[in-house]
Structure 1
Amino acid sequence: MTVPLAHVRLRPDAVPSKFPNCPSYMSRKTARREDPDSKRARIENAALQKAIAESNEAFIRAREEDKVNSLSELANHLRSQGMKFWDVIERNERLLLIHIVDDEAPWLKYSVCVKGDLSVTVHVMKTAVKKLGANLCVPNIANSKRGMVELLEGIEKWDGDLMYNSVAEICEAVYC
């Protein structure tokens, strides 16, 4: 006695018509194990690419933070540095950084002027200079907060390096 099945079975040599891509599905290649050296190289390359991308992002972020956008921003940054050698004065679209020698009659020894267009001029006793000594060059534009701090620290260091700090030595260093 035979009873028909609820679901018809396929014969072993039959190809089902309800699954059109069955032969290609059945013939798919199986995954192989990746070679340890190539896997290590792939992982190292991915880590290197990630580190390069993070480094580029950090560089761009640091450059944007260092950029000078306005005189008031530069003045606030220089005030936050806590420099005792320089006095910061903001007025009439100018930022003045001055060093006053406190003698019997105080006098202005160094002045750095940053104008509204961020152009920079440095004066030593009323004489404009573009270079102090052999190493310290004055930038034309104040486009970097770090650059301005380095300029001011360089002038302060140059002032400290003069042996007797006499007017004659300063004039000799400025005019050579």
Structure 2
Amino acid sequence: MPYRCCVPNCRGNYDGGPKVTVFKFPEDEATRKKWLSSIRRDNFTPSSSSRVCHVHFHKDDVIWETLIVDERTGQLLRAPLLKPRLRPDAVPSLLPNCPSYLSKEESRREGPEEKKQRLENEQLAAALQYSLALQKDYENTFSFSSLEELMLRTKEVDLPNEWSVIEKHSDFVCFLKIIRNPAPLITHSVVIDSNLNVSLFKKDVQIKTLGKRSFPVIVTNIHEIQCTAGVFRHRLWALRNFYR
């Protein structure tokens, strides 16, 4: 059975009365005295089951929801709290079923901690939105969904001098490492087919695994190729064995 409101003339959670959210009396003695003075109940000592319902608090004194940042969009979202709570300095000052002069209708100002939290949430949301915008620009610059787009993206990165690019219509694209020995010799190659599968070769031998990666592997971003195959790196630390 829900706790009933102990404020005079209030029927909150009583049979036939309105269903309300209730709050315990504060443990802090000074704040407790303020509550007792505000509810205008003479000769009353609250017990462990005594409660005051939300009807007697100003709207801004009851926290019904929390703000969270959606990491995917950077938007501030409002989520309802399972258990509403009071602001630390909240005092029940509204007595709707008593003479009007007993209620205090003054509006409540935002406290320093609340303002700090609000500003931090707003700054976090702004920073996340900026980061997402940069990520979107990055993806638009370096992502591809076809071999034709891949060839355009290769212009966005620096290819080491010993590497050449060969495009065979819409069938595949090859990145070849060619040395003179004394005649030109293809020592390593990376082949990307029309389905964007990447295959690696050392001379004419296909490389099936490299570290923890298995090939062929599908790529959709120039830097995926850079990280998985090492074609565009001046420092070939990730695939040093492949380039020996």
Q: Shorter-chain TM-score: what band?
A: 0.5 to 0.7
Q: Does 1:144 align with 2:221?
A: yes
Shift of 1:158: 5.9
User: Deviation string for 1:25-84 (max 9, x for gaps)?
Assistant: xx9934333222222222222222332333334334433433212212212322442321
The corresponding residue for 1:41 is: 117
Q: Does 1:102 align with 2:174?
A: no
Q: Does 1:90 align with 2:167?
A: yes
SS at match of 1:41: helix
Distance 1:154 1:51, change over 3 A: closer
Find the aligned partners of 1:106 and 1:159 in 2 and give their Cα distance: 25
Larger strand fraction of residues: 2
C-alpha contact (below 8 Å) 1:95/1:114 kept by paired residues: yes
Which one-letter code corresponds to 1:92 in the other structure? H
Find the aligned partners of 2:220 and 2:174 in 1 and give their Cα distance: 16
Most deviating of 34-43 and 109-118:
34-43
The corresponding residue for 1:68 is: 144
TM-score (norm 1): 0.62
Give the RMSD, CA atoms, in angstroms.
3.3
- Selected match of 2:108 from 13, 32, 54: 32
C-alpha contact (below 8 Å) 2:142/2:156 kept by paired residues: no
| Largest Rg, 1 or 2 | 1
Shift of 1:161: 5.2
C-alpha contact (below 8 Å) 1:85/1:156 kept by paired residues: no
Q: Does 1:56 align with 2:135?
A: no
Distance 1:158 1:103, change over 3 A: farther
Runs of at least 5 residues in structure 1 that lack an aligned partner in the other structure: 1-26, 171-176
User: Deviation string for 1:73-104 (max 9, x for gaps)?
Assistant: 21232244232121001113211111112122
Find the aligned partners of 1:116 and 1:46 in 2 and give their Cα distance: 45
Runs of at least 5 residues in structure 2 that lack an aligned partner in the other structure: 1-102
Which one-letter code corresponds to 1:85 in the other structure? E
Q: Does 1:122 align with 2:200?
A: yes
The corresponding residue for 1:112 is: 190
Which one-letter code corresponds to 2:167 in the other structure? E
Find the aligned partners of 2:153 and 2:238 in 1 and give their Cα distance: 23
Distance 1:101 1:160, change over 3 A: farther
Q: Which has the higher contact order (CA 8 A, sep 6+)?
A: 1
Larger helix fraction of residues: 1
SS at match of 2:150: helix
